[in-house]
Amino acid sequence: MMWYDGGWGWGGWFIMAIVMVLFWALVIAGVVALVRYLTSGHHGHPGGPPPPSNEAGGVSRRAEDLLAERFARGEIDEDEYKRRITLLREHR
């Protein structure tokens, strides 16, 4: 009497090996993606467009806005605010 091994043959074993390699590649890629996501530091903030160039006044405008925010929070006094805003506007 001959034992037939369930009928897999060489093709079945070959396909099973390929599926196993693909499965583990997917698991490893998922772990790598999860680690990169958790260690990126900005995973809750969508990336916006870069600030406009200084030619359009976008960068200096942003600097003036930040300076105004610092003044409003009381981090700098009025004299410091006026001195820095004058300096920013001179170098446009």
pLDDT tens digits along 1-50: 556 656 666 778 888 999 999 999 999 999 999 999 998 876 555 555 55
Helix (H) or strand (E) run with residue 5 in it: none
In the chain, the DSSP E strands lie at none
Q: Which whole number is the average pLDDT over 47-70?
A: 70
User: How far is Cα 78 from Cα 83, in angstroms, rounded to an integer?
Assistant: 9
What pLDDT score does 51 carry?
54
Q: In which band, very low, low, confident or very high, does the pLDDT at 78 lie, cut at 50, 70 and 90?
A: very high
The two three-digit tokens of residue 36, written as one number: 């990169």
User: How far is Cα 66 from Cα 62, in angstroms, rounded to an integer?
Assistant: 6
What pLDDT score does 50 carry?
56
Q: In which band, very low, low, confident or very high, does the pLDDT at 69 lie, cut at 50, 70 and 90?
A: very high
User: How far is Cα 89 from Cα 81, in angstroms, rounded to an integer?
Assistant: 12
